[in-house]
Amino acid sequence: MEKEIFLELLEKKEYKTIKNILDVMNAVDIAQSLSELEGADLALAFRLIPKDKAADTFAEMDNAEQAYLVEAFTEKELRKILDDLYMDDTVDILEELPANLVNRILSNVSVEKRNLINVLLNYPEDSAGSIMTTEYVKLRAQDTVKEALALIKKTGIHKETIYTCYVLHHRKILGIVSAKDLLTMDDSMTMEELMETEVISVHTHTDKEEVARLFSKYDFLAIPVLDDGERMVGIVTFDDAIDVMVDEATEDITKMAAIMPSENTYMDTSVLHHAKDRIPWLFVLMFSATITGIITLKYQNLFSQMPVLVSFMPMLMDTGGNCGSQSSTLMIRGIALDQIHFRDIFKVMFKEFRISLICGAVLGAANALRVYLMHQDLLLALVIGLSLLFTIIIAKLIGCTLPLLAKQIRLDPALMASPLITTLVDACSISIYFLFASRFLF
């Protein structure tokens, strides 16, 4: 719904109409519409949302709005929302709220739930524990399909997913049963007969990126999370895994462009914050380019005698940089998707070497020809062609090895590799170029 229409309806007190509209909207879309409202309007509009969508809508709102609403809610309203929120969403919200509002929320939940929330809040930020929920369907091995269905009918409505059920014994997983099995198999079959025993699980401290990878590999709807004693403590559901996947891709892309990754969208980040995220790497890269500049000074008598040499520097440096980033980008993505590993390093280097020979030969020859046609100087053409060939070989070898090395010594390949690659490739290409030039042209 458009903001103007919304505001007008609110002002005219057409609450019935607003209710009717909200009634046929998806919670995600309602949250988006409400994001245009402020203050009292927001609280008023929130109270018009159908009861069964209020918690879902609340979970989808941004932190500033959630904070405003928590303050505006009566105790009763707050308790209702907290009852309907899934545990993972509650924890997500608490992580971002100011302390006084966190206390307000914690004082409105049962002691049991408060203890659980405190445990969940303590998991490291990027761990499976931090994105898991504790609401899932627990079954016993001797339960029949009929009993399982009866249990789900009684308790299932409060579970984040009922489509994967867990057969437990003393909190250890014996197997999993899908709702599809329960819905299509004979009523008298037991969970023991039905369950799949090959269960893939993660631990509370497993990196959430690794969890997301398992989802995309196996197409799970949910994955069980175990504690250090191998006891089941929760599940991660596919919707959270999708969010992780999108965020991780964004983070890698941002890092490859030499920007500190940010939690917020472009529009929601302030100018100052944007500048802060960008300046550090610009500084590092500027400093490294300065080194390349200083190398050129060593050869200043070459280009003061033969100024045309300077005109090939942009081409050599840019092509070297592009070749290096082609290789490093493919490595970084391959590492992120678990397709390339450190053990492949020699295979990869040999492959990149052959690729660089082809690229180098084609580009080097084309350039040599162009230089010869423009300047009618065969030796100059040879120097440019050869410099380009060697630059490309070195760029591709540096580009493919550095991300793998970074990964091996537990540095972030995307963050550490790109700037270093630029520096090294630039310095190498300029050195090669002037070495060849001084050798053949003077």
**Contact positions with a second copy (CB under 8 A) in 173-202:** 179-180, 182-184, 197-198, 200
The two three-digit tokens of residue 359, written as one number: 């690229």
> Which residues make beta-bridge pairs with 232?
226
Decide if residue 369 touches a second copy (CB under 8 A).
Answer: no
Binding status of residue 1 toward a second copy by CB under 8 A: no
Residues 248-278 as b/e (b if ≥16 CB within 10 A, e otherwise) read: beebbebbbebbebbeeeeeeeeeeeeeebe
Does position 164 bind a second copy by CB under 8 A? no
Residue 279 or residue 379: which is nearer to a second copy going by CB? 279
Residues 220-239 that bind a second copy (CB under 8 A): 221, 238-239
Residues that bind a second copy (rule: CB under 8 A) add up to a total of 108
> What 8-state DSSP symbol labels residue 410?
T
| Exposure string over 37-51, b if 16+ CB within 10 A, otherwise e | beeebbbebbebbee
**Which of 104, 147, 274, 411 lies at the binding interface for a second copy (CB under 8 A)?**
274
Q: What is the DSSP string of 93-147?
A: HHHHS-HHHHHHHHTTS-HHHHHHHHHHHTS-TTBHHHH-BS---EE-TT-BHHH
Nearer to a second copy, 245 or 411 (CB): 245
Instruction: Give the one residue of 243, 378, 408, 440 binding a second copy; rule: CB under 8 A.
Output: 243
Q: Is 116 in the site for a second copy (CB under 8 A)?
A: no
* CB-nearer residue toward a second copy: 101 or 177: 177
84: burial class by Cβ within 10 Å (0-12, 13-18, 19+)? middle
Q: Counting contacts by CB under 8 A, is residue 325 touching a second copy?
A: yes
Among 99, 272, 373, 409, indicate the residue that binds a second copy (CB under 8 A). Answer: 272
For a second copy, the closer of residues 142 and 290 by Cβ is: 290
Figure out which of the listed residues 99, 111, 157, 409 binds a second copy, where binding follows CB under 8 A.
Answer: 157
> What is the C-alpha to C-alpha distance for residues 391 and 217, in angstroms, rounded to an integer?
38
Beta carbons of 430 and 394 less than 8 angstroms apart = no
Contacting residues for 30 by C-beta, under 8 A, at least 6 apart: 22, 49, 53, 57, 60
Within residues 388-407, the interface with a second copy by CB under 8 A covers none
| Per-residue binding letters, 7-46, with a second copy (x by CB under 8 A) | -----------------xxx-x------------------
Q: Looking at beta carbons only, is 141 or 149 nearer to a second copy?
A: 149
Is 363 among the residues that bind a second copy (CB under 8 A)? yes
Instruction: Rule CB under 8 A: say whether 74 interacts with a second copy.
Output: no
Rounded to 10 degrees, the C-alpha dihedral 19/20/24/30 comes to -30
Q: Does 99 bind a second copy (CB under 8 A)?
A: no
Q: Is residue 370 a contact residue for a second copy (CB under 8 A)? A: yes
Residue 2, φ and ψ in degrees, nearest 5: -70, 145
CB of 271 to a second copy, least distance (A): 5
Tell whether residue 322 is a contact of a second copy (CB under 8 A).
yes
367 is a contact residue toward a second copy (CB under 8 A): yes
Q: Is 246 in the site for a second copy (CB under 8 A)?
A: yes
Smallest distance, a second copy to C-beta of residue 99, A: 30
Which two tokens mark 269? 């980040």
Candidate residues 304, 378, 379, 440; the one interacting with a second copy per rule CB under 8 A? 304
Please check whether residue 328 is in contact with residue 421, taking contact to mean a CB–CB distance below 8 angstroms. Answer: yes
The span from the CA of 209 to the CA of 336, in Å, is 9
Q: Which is nearer to a second copy, 40 or 310 (CB)?
A: 310
Instruction: For a second copy, give the closer residue by CB, 7 or 289.
Output: 289
Amino acid at the residue 420? L
Among the residue ranges 7-15, 121-129, 203-211, 281-289, the one whose residues contact a second copy (CB under 8 A)? 281-289
- Binding residue (CB under 8 A) for a second copy from 250, 342, 369, 440: 250
Which letter does DSSP use for residue 196 in this model? B
**Quick one: 108 or 292, whose CB is closer to a second copy?**
292
Look at residue 207 and give its three-state secondary structure: strand
What is the CA 441 to chain-centroid distance, rounded?
51
**CA-to-CA separations, 336 to 29, 70, 217, 241, 252, in angstroms, rounded:** 32, 38, 13, 15, 9
- Interface pick for a second copy out of 242, 369, 378, 379 (rule CB under 8 A): 242
Minimum CB–partner distance for residue 152 and a second copy (Å): 5
Residues 6+ apart with CB under 8 A from 260: 254, 276, 277, 278, 280, 281
Residue number with CB closer to a second copy (64 or 275): 275
Q: Does residue 103 bind a second copy (CB under 8 A)?
A: no
Site for a second copy in 339-358 (CB under 8 A): 339-340, 344, 347-348, 351, 354-355, 358
Q: What is the distance between the terminal CA atoms of the chain, rounded to a whole angstrom?
A: 74
